[in-house]
Amino acid sequence: MNLTRKIIRDHLLPGSMEPGQEINLRIDQTLTQDATGTMAYLQWTAMGMDRVRTELSVSYVDHNTLQMGFRNPDDHRFLRSVAARHGIVYSPPGTGICHQLHLENFAKPGKTLIGSDSHTPTAGGVGCLAMGAGGLSVALAMAGEPYTLPMPKVFRVLLTGRLQGWACAKDIILHLLGLLSVKGGVGAVMEYCGPGVATLTVPERATITNMGAELGATTSIFPSDDQTQLFLASMGRPEDYYPLEADPDAAYDQTIAIDLDVIEPLAARPHMPDLIVPVRDLNGLSVDQVAIGSCTNSSYTDLKTSALILLDRRIAPSTDLLIAPGSKQVLKLLNREGLVDVFLNSGARLLECACGPCIGMGGSPPSAGVSLRTFNRNFEGRSGTQDGQVYLVGPAAAAQAALAGRVTDPSSWGKPPQKPVLPETAPSIRSLFIMPPPPKESKNVEIQCGPNIVPLEAFAPLPEQMDAEVLIVLGDNVTTDHILPGGAAVTALRSNLPAISAHVFNKVDPEFVSRARKAAAGVIIGGENYGQGSSREHAALGPRHLGVRIVLAKSFARIHKANLINFGILPLVFVDPSDHARLAAGCNIRLETRDLCAQTTLALQVDQAGQTGKIPARPDLTAKELNIILVGGWLNMVKTRQADNT
């Protein structure tokens, strides 16, 4: 057996481990972050549950840390009170980024973890089967419900050799993105094997599993081995080590071979993480801003690499440098070695231990400015500057560009510093987490809701017959950032669905919301890989609030499709992708929902400018998923089940 199937086997509830078949997994751990957590916990409290039923659930505050006005502070107070009331560990703002913190403090080999953030697979760096999910899926897991998903294929990524020169772990995953594209991992787990694995530390592995989300993969995972043991010992958790690897003769659905000896520094060009070029090809490109951090590259070893390059040097006067450590533990380690002074003396800005510029939460580049970032996404406008030109690179390439004010050829960088290693014992920050009180005391905790926290509305079941207007027609690789933008102003509305819905598609089509509000029911037409990117369920909730009942696309990203189902929006796929070109905004689609049957082709009646015709489409759904949509979403299903039990 491969490693992925071993962990699935040990957590499998009903289901068959045949690729594409529905499986149900027992979930050991959950995590949320504040941008998605407020809605997840509103859903959790709506279920009427008393205390979480997982081994561990953690509520991190790392996204909405700009406390401008009352909205974000109110959300944080709400999250803190929910955690205390229901047995959840709470990580206050400024403690660090959820994925870095979870890796350091809680992730364990062989465990299952789902989180309401698409980069939850970071924990795969220690052999944890960690998956991003919508907030409702996480809330259901906290209630003891299994996590349902199609059984993924397992791709073996066979690593040989050892990274040379200035090449780093970020270049491995950028190389893989160049090979496979942003949809090359859809429906699969990327499992890393081979002799090259032993040469990579856990922080390096976590960089790779983190950005596996950009492949569209279900998750990514490394074995738990000597490197894992060293990491957990350094984190003060030697008892959490458990050796776990694939069998020598394990079977895989596909093998991708990567020779680490030939990997070189790479970059992703605007505006997609799979537009890969060698850094040397960008030689001479002027850089306005450099940002080092995010859940991809904010570890101690990443930042120490950057600090050693900046030592006793000053950044270019034309370039801003932003440094965001991934956790207070990382900051303490850097401070202990005098490396914080290196950043300050170089002219860099030291930011809070949080997501920050990665999600457009401050640190935006100037108009049409070039920003080199060690982040995971460079979608158009995600930086907070709509015409910002964001390139993704590793920490060394970023630091070198900050010094020169432009991208330079790695052949001119000289001898690389020695690869940093974690100390035998890192300073613990676990005392900063707020642990929930015992059950007897927690029952007396009052949930504190501010005026911006609006309970989730009830959604109606799917009607037996529906006439719906096509509201927008989109191309391939539409991201959740396109559907519902991030940034400080919009993200502060995550706990207020009516308010945040006013921003749906506003960067793509400013008239979308007004058209949707006028229509009785709406349809969105998408291309390939519709809904890639963030796990933000608001990209499904917002359209649902505006009356969208159908999304018809060539294909869907995994998490977004699950979010559509969770809230009663019907995802349909074109039987003939060329039919996409036949549809335009304003046409009407009629659906007889009584004809709906899982996996069965149906004929959509289309009325366009008085001309009628039919387009075949297929609900690529299981019978269970179809039932969820018919009753109006998962919450309606849970309420129906609770009513039946009483």
CA dist 352 and 310 (Å) reads: 20
| φ and ψ at residue 558, rounded to 5 degrees | -60, -55
**Which range among 102-106, 127-131, 242-246, 415-419 shows the weakest confidence by mean pLDDT?**
415-419
Which pLDDT value is given to residue 643? 61
Q: Which two tokens stand for residue 273?
A: 């993480």
Which conformational region is residue 447 in: left (phi greater than 0), alpha (psi within -120 to 50 degrees), or beta? beta
Whole-angstrom distance, CA of residue 111 vs CA of residue 125: 12
Q: How far is CA 54 from CA 58, 133, 140, 291, 635, in A?
A: 10, 16, 10, 36, 20
Model confidence pLDDT, tens digit, residues 586-638: 999 998 877 787 768 888 999 987 788 999 999 989 888 999 999 999 888 88
Supply the pLDDT for residue 560. Answer: 95
CA pair distance 535, 539, nearest whole angstrom = 9
Distance CA 505, CA 150 (A): 29
Q: Tell me the chain's radius of gyration from C-alpha atoms.
A: 24
Interstrand relation of 89-91 and 56-60 (parallel, antiparallel or unpaired): parallel
Distance, first Cα to last Cα, the chain: 43
User: Is 37 buried (19+), middle (13-18) or exposed (0-12) by CB count in 10 A?
Assistant: buried
H-helix or E-strand spanning residue 566: helix 558-566
Q: Are 481 and 534 contacting, i.e. CB atoms less than 8 angstroms apart?
A: yes
Under DSSP, the state recorded for 565 is H
Would you state the pLDDT for residue 592?
Answer: 84
By DSSP bridging, strand 370-373 and strand 522-525 are: unpaired
Q: What per-residue confidence (pLDDT) applies to 420?
A: 93
C-beta separation of 501 from 542 below 8 A: yes
Question: How much is the average pLDDT of 410-427?
Answer: 94
Residues in the chain: 646
Q: What is the pTM of this model?
A: 0.94
Q: Report the alpha-carbon distance of residue 211 to residue 214 in Å, rounded.
A: 5
Per-residue pLDDT, 110: 98
Quickly tell me which residue has 């911006």 as its tokens.
452
Q: In angstroms, rounded to a whole number, what is the distance separating the alpha carbons of residues 613 and 603? A: 9
How far is Cα of residue 410 from the mean position of the Cα atoms in its chain?
A: 30
- Please work out, in degrees rounded to the nearest 5, the angle formed at the alpha carbon of residue 408 by the alpha carbons of 402 and 414: 95
Q: Which two tokens stand for residue 9?
A: 């086997």
pLDDT of residue 213: 96
Q: Is the pLDDT of residue 3 over 80?
A: yes
| Nearest CA-CA partner of 400 in 294, 283, 264 | 283
Instruction: Tell me the C-alpha distance between 268 and 280, whole Å.
Output: 12
What single-letter amino acid sits at 390? V
Question: Which of 113, 126, 143 shows the shortest CA–CA distance to 28?
Answer: 113
Burial of 492 (0-12, 13-18, 19+ CB in 10 A): buried
Which CA distances in Å does 472 have to 271, 457, 553?
22, 24, 12
Q: What is the pLDDT of residues 323-380, one digit of tens each?
A: 999 999 999 999 999 999 999 999 999 999 999 999 888 999 999 999 999 999 999 9
| Local structure of residue 576 (DSSP, 8 states) | S
**If 0-12 CB within 10 Å is exposed, 13-18 middle and 19+ buried, where does residue 356 land?**
buried
Q: How far is CA 396 from the centre of its chain?
A: 24
d(CA 198, CA 248): 15
- Distance of alpha carbon 455 from alpha carbon 449, whole angstroms: 10
Q: What is the pairing mode between strands 219-221 and 254-259?
A: unpaired
pLDDT digit string, tens, across residues 432-490: 999 999 999 998 999 999 999 998 888 999 998 889 999 999 999 999 999 998 888 88
pLDDT in tens, 520-575: 899 999 999 999 988 889 999 999 999 999 999 999 999 999 999 999 999 999 99
The pLDDT tens digits of the residues spanning 123-173 come to 999 999 999 999 999 999 999 999 999 999 999 999 999 999 999 999 999
Q: Residue 644 above 70 pLDDT?
A: no
pLDDT of 599 reads: 67
Active site residues: 62-63, 117, 377, 534, 536
Q: Which helix (H) or strand (E) holds 571?
A: strand 570-574
The answer to whether 547 and 513 are in contact (CB under 8 A) is: no
Locus of tokens 């709406």:
522
pLDDT tens digits for 386-406? 999 999 999 999 999 999 999
Decide: helix, strand or coil at residue 43.
helix
Note the pLDDT of residue 97: 98
The CA–CA distances, whole Å, from 254 to 1, 187, 247, 468 equal 14, 12, 16, 41
- The pLDDT assigned to 285 comes to 98
d(CA 185, CA 537): 21
Q: How many Cβ atoms are within 10 Å of 514's Cβ, its own excluded?
A: 11
What number of other Cβ atoms are within 10 A of residue 454's Cβ? 16
Residue 226 burial (CB count, 10 A):
11
Which tokens in the block code for residue 303? 């930042």
Q: How far apart are CA 407 and CA 405, in angstroms?
A: 7
Does residue 491 carry a pLDDT above 70? yes
Average pLDDT, rounded, for the chain: 94
Lowest mean pLDDT among 18-27, 62-71, 190-199: 62-71
Q: What is the pLDDT of residue 456?
A: 85
> DSSP string of 289-321?
EEEE-TTTS-SHHHHHHHHHHHTT----TT-EE
SS3 of residue 423 by DSSP: coil
The CA angle 319-301-380, to the nearest 5 degrees, is 45
Domains observed in the chain = 3-262 (3.30.499.10), 266-412 (3.30.499.10), 465-645 (3.20.19.10)
